[in-house]
């Protein structure tokens, strides 16, 4: 019996999405074809699939929007699980600032629903308009707006997930609660599908700020602007976001530090004055800055690199990345993160860059579909103590080791 035939005995016909041979190459760059593609429409179907996968020893690769699909290595059998069948708003309590939706719901759908009540979800990772809600949570992506609003993981109030062996867990809820012991909810956020399949998300919303003021200052280089960005992070006011891009259209394509201030008009005006006094600069105010362009900067290229380190070490990280001659750079100094795009480098160059970043206590992760699975091997690996914790979590959530075969 083939994998497709076996799945047909446990899943409804509506969940059998398409023939593997018909799956677009763009959805699995550099990969071999899966043995089956399924599109479950309910958590119960996902649970049945995962129980079957563990029993049969078949890998499962979840795909939402496909933005983070990785090549699948090895020769084991695997199934692609499309989460777009788990789409749609479930509940929205505008007065309570909470919304729940299926994991496959496009983030744009969530944003549109919130906007009808002058609310929003203040997360701005690259290409968020192309992501699913579950994919956003699975990758733990926040963007520079975390400076003023906190990380995404702090605003995911609840999740429904299915573990690797088919158990359905409902983590958290619709209100903020104190947690005693290990917080499983926060462990799943950012686990990139390696612990469980997310089927539903409860999210905290925020009122849209009355004023969203954009300030920027130009510089000759990203490195020159880094000093000012670090000073912004120590100012007596807390901006909504602060990010350096190596080319800002509003600045004539030159490097710029872009800062956003949110709040009432009087508060924002006072915050700008105090910020300029602290940094010793006069910012330009420009309501025409393309926030989507700043958000998405350095998110397209043959190789995308995400480096992280303490903010005080970001200068050394930028020096190391220079060896790649990046085509685009974005620096979130408050979060200690650098995003870069480049052409495909040699493994030796990546090894050297990664080693220099790790020498200052940082880490480097690559996303490069064209590198045929080598990106994970060239990225920073967990330290021994961290690896033991990761393996312990995975063995508890996925004892059969069937989730996300791209990782193994």
- Helices (H) and strands (E) counted in the chain, each on its own, are 13, 19
Residues 76 and 133 occupy one common structural domain: no
Residues 183 and 122 occupy one common structural domain: yes
Residues 71 and 159 occupy one common structural domain: no
Residue 119 lies in a domain: yes
For the chain, residues with pLDDT lower than 70 are: 18-31, 65-74, 174-182, 369-375, 405-408
End-to-end CA distance of the chain: give it in Å, rounded.
Answer: 26
CATH of the domain at 339: 3.30.70.260
Let me know: does 164 contact 49? Beta carbons within 8 Å.
Answer: no
- Spatial distance between the Cα atoms of 51 and 39, rounded to a whole number of angstroms: 16
Tokens coding 26: 């763009």
Residue 407 lies in a domain: no
Which residues does 301 contact at the CB level (< 8 Å), separation at least 6? 327, 328, 341, 342, 343
Cα 284 to Cα 41, 215, 217, 288, distances in angstroms: 49, 5, 6, 11
Residue 348 lies in a domain: yes
CATH of the domain at 155: 3.30.465.10
Q: What pLDDT, on the 0 to 100 scale, is given for residue 29?
A: 52
Residues 317 and 282 occupy one common structural domain: no
Residues 64 and 143 occupy one common structural domain: no
Tokens coding 185: 């909810």
Tokens coding 7: 């799945």
Other CB atoms within 10 Å distance of the CB of residue 276: 15
Residue 61 lies in a domain: yes
Residues 191 and 96 occupy one common structural domain: yes
Other CB atoms within 10 Å distance of the CB of residue 41: 18
β-bridge pairing 78-82 and 36-38: parallel
What are the two backbone dihedrals, phi and then psi, of residue 142, each rounded to the nearest 5 degrees? -115, -50
Residues 74 and 18 occupy one common structural domain: yes
CATH of the domain at 61: 3.30.43.10
Q: What pLDDT, on the 0 to 100 scale, is given for residue 408?
A: 42
Let me know: does 164 contact 50? Beta carbons within 8 Å.
Answer: yes
Residue 382 lies in a domain: no
Residue 392 lies in a domain: no
Residues 78 and 134 occupy one common structural domain: no
Q: Which of 163, 178, 207 is the last residue of a domain?
A: 207
C-alpha closest to that of 255 among 278, 295, 225: 225
Let me know: does 40 contact 54? Beta carbons within 8 Å.
Answer: no
Sheet with 36-38, strands from edge to edge, namely 16-18, 36-38, 78-82, 59-63
Q: What pLDDT, on the 0 to 100 scale, is given for residue 28?
A: 58
- Spatial distance between the Cα atoms of 82 and 38, rounded to a whole number of angstroms: 6
- Secondary structure of residue 206 in the 3-state scheme: strand
Residues 193 and 94 occupy one common structural domain: yes
Sign of CA dihedral 84, 85, 88, 91: negative
Buried b (16+ CB within 10 A) or exposed e, 23-40: beeeebebbebbbbbbbb
Residue 131 lies in a domain: yes
Q: Which of 146, 174, 207 is the last residue of a domain?
A: 207
Residues 163 and 267 occupy one common structural domain: no
Give the structural domain span for 365: 298-372
- Spatial distance between the Cα atoms of 395 and 389, rounded to a whole number of angstroms: 10
Q: What pLDDT, on the 0 to 100 scale, is given for residue 406?
A: 44
Tokens coding 208: 């849209």
Residue 66 lies in a domain: yes
Q: What pLDDT, on the 0 to 100 scale, is given for residue 373?
A: 62
Q: What pLDDT, on the 0 to 100 scale, is given for residue 182?
A: 59
Q: Which of 207, 230, 249 is the last residue of a domain?
A: 207
Q: What pLDDT, on the 0 to 100 scale, is given for residue 383?
A: 81
Residues 360 and 303 occupy one common structural domain: yes
Q: What pLDDT, on the 0 to 100 scale, is given for residue 74?
A: 64
How many separate domains does the chain show?
4
Residues 126 and 223 occupy one common structural domain: no
């Amino acid at each position: 019996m083939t994998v497709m035939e076996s799945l047909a005995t446990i899943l409804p016909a509506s969940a059998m999405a398409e023939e593997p041979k018909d799956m677009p190459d763009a959805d699995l760059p550099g990969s071999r074809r899966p043995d089956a593609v399924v599109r479950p429409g309910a958590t119960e179907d996902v649970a049945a699939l995962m129980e079957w996968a563990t029993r049969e020893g078949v890998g499962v690769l979840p795909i939402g929007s496909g933005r983070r699909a990785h090549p699948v290595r090895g020769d084991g059998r695997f199934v692609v699980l499309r989460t777009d069948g788990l789409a749609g708003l479930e509940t929205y309590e505008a007065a309570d600032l909470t919304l729940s939706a299926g994991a496959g719901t496009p983030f744009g759908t969530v944003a549109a629903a919130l906007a009808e009540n002058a609310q929003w979800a203040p997360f701005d990772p690259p290409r968020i308009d192309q992501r699913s809600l579950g994919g956003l949570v699975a990758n733990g992506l926040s963007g520079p707006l975390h400076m003023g609003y906190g990380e995404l993981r702090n605003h995911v109030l609840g999740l429904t997930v299915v573990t690797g062996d088919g158990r359905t867990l409902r983590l958290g809820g619709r209100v903020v609660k104190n947690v005693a012991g290990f917080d499983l909810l926060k462990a799943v956020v950012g686990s990139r599908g390696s612990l469980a399949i997310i089927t539903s998300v409860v999210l905290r919303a925020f009122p849209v700020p009355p004023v969203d003021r954009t300030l920027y200052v130009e510089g000759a280089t990203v490195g020159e602007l880094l000093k000012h960005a670090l000073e912004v992070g120590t100012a007596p006011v807390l901006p909504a976001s602060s990010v350096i891009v190596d080319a800002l259209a509003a600045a004539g394509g030159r490097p710029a530090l872009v800062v956003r201030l949110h709040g009432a008009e009087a508060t924002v005006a006072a915050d700008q004055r105090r910020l300029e006094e602290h940094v010793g600069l006069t910012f330009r105010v420009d309501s025409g800055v393309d926030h989507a362009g700043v958000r998405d900067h350095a998110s397209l290229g043959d190789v995308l690199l995400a480096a992280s380190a303490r903010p005080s070490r970001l200068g050394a990280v930028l020096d190391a990345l220079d060896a790649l001659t990046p085509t685009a750079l974005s620096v979130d100094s408050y979060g200690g993160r650098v995003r870069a795009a480049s052409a495909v480098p040699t493994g030796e160059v990546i090894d050297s860059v990664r080693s220099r970043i790790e020498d200052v206590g940082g880490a480097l992760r690559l996303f490069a579909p064209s590198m045929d699975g080598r990106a994970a091997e060239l990225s920073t690996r967990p330290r021994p103590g961290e690896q033991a914790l990761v393996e312990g979590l995975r063995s508890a959530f996925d004892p059969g080791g069937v989730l996300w075969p791209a990782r193994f």
